[in-house]
Amino acid sequence: MGWYGELLVGFDLETTGTDPGEARIVSAAVVEAVRGVPARRREWLADPGVPVPPETTAIHGITDERATAHGRPAAEVADAVAEALAAHWLRGVPVVAYNAAFDLTLLAAELRRHGLAPMRERLGGGEEGPVIDPYAMDRTVDPFREGKRTLEAVCAEYGVVLGRAHDAAEDALAAVRLAVAIAERYGDVASAGAWDLHRGQAGWHAERAEGYRQWLLRQTRPPAPAAGSATPPPPPAAEPVPKRGLGADDAVA
């Protein structure tokens, strides 16, 4: 059996917003599981140091008052989460996160914000990974399926039971179970090595980003001129591709 039958570590953050460069950690979870059966979980509640907007409280249920009164300092939480992930990577254990680019980018931003050691330094200069992202895998193995690609929707597609959505520990465990379910459905995913998937996901993300860029160009390109009419001006430059490369159905982490 491949990577999906071994120890996997689910990772999830709940945050103050959707911009990974600006949002702050509100809660975090690192869950160890084998074939989706949890063995150990670590959870953190953070005082983000900025107000928790009501619209994000409506999603993950953590109020500004609760975070301020009971959360640990944001720097302590970011450092503890980074240490937990680094310890697993140093042992060669894959970390599974749904839409991993968002969570890992946000964690890196928090480490910089608080003057903490970056992940690469914690790994002795090594590469972060392997990371397994069920979001990226699902979009690749079933690209034409209609409907949303939120964690809840994709769990329903693969028959994965999701506990309380937008609870960091529940989402982290669901991500692991979803990765296992995708591997069990698709032999190519199951037979690939964890590092092969890790590097493949980067390529898949780049391809989607380029596709999105081309789509934007098509939307902004003016229609062809009628015969004999003046040549139209060139189309305006496309907007930059979002870092996350996500669709409109993605929710706050």
What is the rounded average pLDDT of the residues 157-175? 94
Q: Model's pTM, two decimal places?
A: 0.82
* Domain spans, the chain: 3-220
pLDDT averaged over the chain?
A: 87
- Per-residue model confidence (pLDDT) at position 248: 32
Residue 212's pLDDT band, with cuts at 50, 70 and 90, is low
- Percentage of residues of the chain with pLDDT beyond 70: 81
- Over residues 160-188, mean pLDDT: 95
* Contact (Cβ atoms closer than 8 angstroms) between residue 132 and residue 96: yes
Q: Is the pLDDT of residue 239 over 50?
A: no
pLDDT band at 51; cut points 50, 70, 90: very high
Contacts 24+ apart (CB under 8 A), 235-239: 238/213
Query: What is d(CA 202, CA 63) in angstroms, rounded to the nearest whole number?
Result: 35
Mean per-residue pLDDT, 60-88 = 97
pLDDT at 127: 93
**Residue 210's pLDDT band (cuts 50, 70, 90):** low
The arithmetic mean of pLDDT across residues 148-167, rounded, is 94
pLDDT at 179 over 70: yes
Domain 3-220 has CATH 3.20.20.140: no
86-90 LR contacts (CB < 8 Å, sep 24+) = 86/119, 86/122, 86/123, 88/9, 88/30, 89/123, 89/126, 89/128, 89/129, 89/130, 90/123, 90/124, 90/126
The contacts of residue 188 (CB under 8 Å, 6+ apart) are 141
